A and B are shown apart, each in its own frame.
Chain A
Amino acid sequence: VQLVESGGGLVQPGKSLKLSCSASGFTFSSYGMHWIRQAPGKGLDWVAYISSSSGTVYADAVKGRFTISRDNAKNTLYLQLNSLKSEDTAIYYCARKAFGVGWYFDFWGPGTMVTVSS
């Protein structure tokens, strides 16, 4: 299993960014996927989830601003970040939903850093 995020960078407040997560080593279309973020030196915050059938759930802090999506043909997960705020600054990880044991995250990517600053 391999997950590799990309698309992070420095962005001004109020602007947008789109993150990608390329998946390999498993049948991507069969798994739910998550985005989780970690502010520098801080703990972990769950951001969003998309099921294998593309149902979605969001954390309140990002609802209406972020959109999770997936392209099963490309084995890729996305996170569209709009109306970015300084408090969105974090490492963004994509993670696979553990199969059959509950809403855990069994594999994580290395993360991509998003910095929101003017």
Chain B
Amino acid sequence: DIHMTQNPVSLSAFIGDKVTITCRASQDISRYLGWYQQKQGQSPKFLMYYASNLLSGVPSRFSGSGSGTEYSLTITGIQPEDAATYFCQQCYSYPLTFGSGTKLEIK
């Protein structure tokens, strides 16, 4: 199984800040990496696929990058509605696995 290590576990930011969440795979996943946003009490929302491709309707302040085993999600210009937990997910091979999540708090 491919293990996904996500950091940090939590972070806090001011409105307008830039934050980066990282995700490390236990083996090369060739950019088969997605990101999800889960707000409190809600189901996850699909944000990005293939490491850097934004879904339609996702604000452009979200961006992704990476290759091999190292990936990141960056939010540039944090907004109040970005408060959520963010999860990475590899789809390189089964079983599909997720990172443990990063909780973003807005100060």
Contact = CB atoms under 8 A, between A and B. Distances in A.
Which of B36, B44, B87, B99 is most buried by chain A, counting CB atoms within 10 A of its CB?
A: B44
B101 to A, nearest CB: 5
A43 B6 CA distance: 11
B91 A103 contact: yes
B87 A101 contact: no
A43 B44 contact: no
B34 interface: yes
Interface residues of A, number: 22
B94 A43 contact: no
Nearest to A59: B95
A102 B100 CA distance: 21
Interface stretch (B11-19, B46-54, B62-70): B46-54
Contacts of A106: 46, 55
Interface string B31-60: 010101000001111100110010100000
A102 B98 contact: no
